Amino acid sequence: MVDIINKDIVKSIDAADLVIGSVMKPVIESVASPIVGNGTLISGGAKLVVAFGATKYAGNNRIGKGLAIGAGMDGAEDIIVALKGKAGLGSTPSTSGGVF
């Protein structure tokens, strides 16, 4: 079995990669929402698959790293929101459209 937990997805990152990833997160969320939804385990899993494949297929460059970081952040958020809802802790869908 492939060990994906300890796999280096992004070789190294700097502040510019993090900024690009943070910009990519709402873009990925808005593009993926009509296809896989948002805030569900399925959408979280699908976005994490994109994160794992981003640097392999888009390259270990600024774009590939940005896709991996943005998709990984959004996928993790979706899984947390879904598990929170299943635990009865209430879930608030992410808007990612506001300034604050």
Domain count, the chain: 1
- Report yes or no on 97 lying in a domain: no
Please say whether the dihedral angle defined by the alpha carbons of residues 30, 35, 40 and 42, taken in this order, is positive or negative. negative
Where do we find the tokens 């993090």?
A: 18
The rounded Cα 44 to chain-centroid distance in angstroms is 7
Name which residue leads in pLDDT, 76 or 10.
Answer: 76
- For 12-55, give the DSSP string: ---HHHHHHHHHHHHHHHHHHHHHH-SSSHHHHHHHHHHHHHHH
In whole angstroms, what is the distance from residue 89 CA to residue 85 CA? 6
| Residues 16-62 pLDDT 10s | 888 999 999 999 999 998 999 888 999 999 999 999 898 888 888 88
- Report yes or no on 66 lying in a domain: yes
Q: Percent of the chain scored above 70 by pLDDT? A: 78
- Report yes or no on 9 lying in a domain: no
- Report yes or no on 93 lying in a domain: no
- Report yes or no on 32 lying in a domain: yes
Residue range(s) defining the domain that contains residue 38? 15-86
